[in-house]
């Protein structure tokens, strides 16, 4: 009888060489590890779905690594099942885009597409890690600017302000009943305003840094903006400005407004609620004293408008609707003041990988 060797055989996994650990990103490390992990999978070692979920949970942040998750879920059924879908049922596109090397050109295309065929317009724009620069151009008045106009309801998602940086400003108008979301971005170097809610869609900012603008960091005019765990710093004029009939809702213990008013004008503040119809709300436990510190100009906050401490933004005593009904604008408050500077679809189920790839190519073609 042949003797059976019950000794557990070992497997030699090739070393994963990713260079200097301080010089590579987690994404590169993961890509380098995939062949070795696949080797274990093919040899039948610890192949349960739970095992893969555990491995990927250490390597991928589901709150920021959107593009990496999308790419990995396309590789095989195991990764598809181990990683949660990115906004299931939604449509999206990415930047850099194969047809658009300038972010402004891509967003202009999305705005135009939304006017013609809103149902075909991607709901999400994922911006890859890196520093993306919008080339300055001449505005309608002949001044040089780098402001990107957004008129469609879209969510612009970065990999985190420490990874994804955009040098431009966003001028957000569009439908007043719609919402524009900006998440995980560093928005710097705007010639005018970093994020401008301009009498249109509401604006929601999550985990963003708005800095180094020639003018103001964040301005809300006849609309509502919500800032969660955002940093607004080192802007030329006001850090946050709630203009007439504007409402700014601020929350999150990581929210900071500091070292603004870099031009030194005493009429500028870290946070300005400028007139009777302006509001800046802080959701407990955040307070204006905790949020706004070390600003230049006239100080950390000021203006004739209101600052409220609330438990819920919806339960705020004064609302924009009430202010518009019973309040009268002060003379000239609605005029623009002189500011002293002159696609893809992610499916919840994927019966055949090839079908999903074909859908991806079709939707990208729509953006032409």
CATH (residue range 123-326): 2.160.20.10
Instruction: Give me the DSSP letters along 209-225.
Output: EEE--SS-SEEEESSEE
d(CA 275, CA 85): 45
Instruction: Please state the domain extents for the chain.
Output: 14-84, 123-326
Measured between alpha carbons, how far is residue 224 from residues 111, 152, 154, 181, 203 in Å? Answer: 21, 16, 16, 12, 6
pLDDT in tens, the chain (368 residues): 444 444 444 333 333 333 333 334 555 555 555 655 555 555 544 457 777 888 888 888 877 788 888 888 888 888 888 888 888 888 999 999 999 999 999 999 999 999 999 999 999 999 999 999 999 998 888 889 999 999 999 999 999 999 999 999 999 999 999 999 999 999 999 999 999 999 999 999 999 999 999 999 999 999 999 999 999 999 999 999 999 999 999 999 999 999 999 998 899 999 999 999 999 999 999 999 999 999 999 999 999 999 999 998 887 644 445 544 544 444 444 544 444 433 333 323 223 323 333 333 333 433 33
- Radius of gyration of the chain from its Cα atoms, rounded to whole angstroms: 24
Q: How do residues 16-26 score in pLDDT, each as one tens digit? A: 333 333 334 55
Instruction: Give me the DSSP letters along 217-270.
Output: SEEEESSEEEEES-EEES-SS-SEEE-TT-EEEEE-TT-EEES--TT--TT--S
């Amino acid at each position: 009888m042949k003797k059976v060797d019950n000794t557990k055989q070992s497997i030699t996994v090739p070393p994963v060489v990713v260079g200097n650990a301080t010089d590579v990103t987690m994404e590169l490390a993961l890509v380098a590890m995939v062949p070795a992990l696949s080797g274990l999978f093919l040899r039948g070692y610890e192949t349960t779905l739970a095992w893969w979920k555990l491995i990927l949970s250490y390597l991928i942040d589901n709150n920021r690594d959107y593009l990496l998750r999308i790419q990995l879920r396309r590789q095989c059924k195991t990764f598809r099942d181990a990683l949660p879908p990115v906004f299931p049922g939604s449509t999206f596109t990415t930047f850099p885009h194969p047809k658009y090397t300038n972010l402004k050109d891509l967003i202009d295309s999305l705005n135009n597409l939304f006017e013609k065929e809103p149902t075909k317009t991607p709901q999400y724009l994922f911006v890859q890690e890196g520093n993306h620069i919008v080339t300055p151009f001449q505005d309608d008045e002949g001044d040089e600017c780098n402001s990107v106009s957004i008129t469609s309801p879209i969510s612009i998602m970065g990999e985190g302000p420490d990874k994804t940086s955009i040098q431009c400003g966003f001028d957000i108008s569009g439908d007043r009943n719609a919402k524009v979301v900006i998440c995980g971005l560093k928005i710097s170097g705007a010639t005018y305003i970093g994020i401008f809610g301009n009498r249109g869609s509401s604006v929601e900012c999550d985990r963003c840094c708005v800095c180094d603008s020639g003018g103001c960091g964040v301005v809300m005019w006849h609309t509502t903006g919500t800032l969660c765990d955002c940093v607004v710093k080192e802007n030329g004029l006001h850090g946050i400005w709630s203009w007439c009939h504007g409402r700014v809702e601020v929350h999150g213990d990581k929210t900071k407004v500091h070292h603004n008013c870099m031009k030194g004008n005493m009429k500028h503040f870290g946070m300005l609620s400028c007139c009777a119809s302006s509001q800046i709300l802080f959701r407990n436990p955040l307070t204006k004293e905790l949020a706004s510190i070390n600003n230049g100009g006239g100080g950390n906050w000021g203006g004739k408008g209101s600052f409220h401490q609330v438990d819920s933004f919806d339960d705020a005593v004064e609302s924009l609707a009430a202010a518009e009904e019973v309040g009268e604008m002060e003379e000239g408050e609605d005029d623009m003041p002189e500011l002293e500077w002159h696609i893809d679809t992610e499916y919840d189920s994927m019966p055949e990988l090839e079908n999903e790839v074909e859908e991806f190519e079709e939707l990208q073609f729509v953006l032409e």
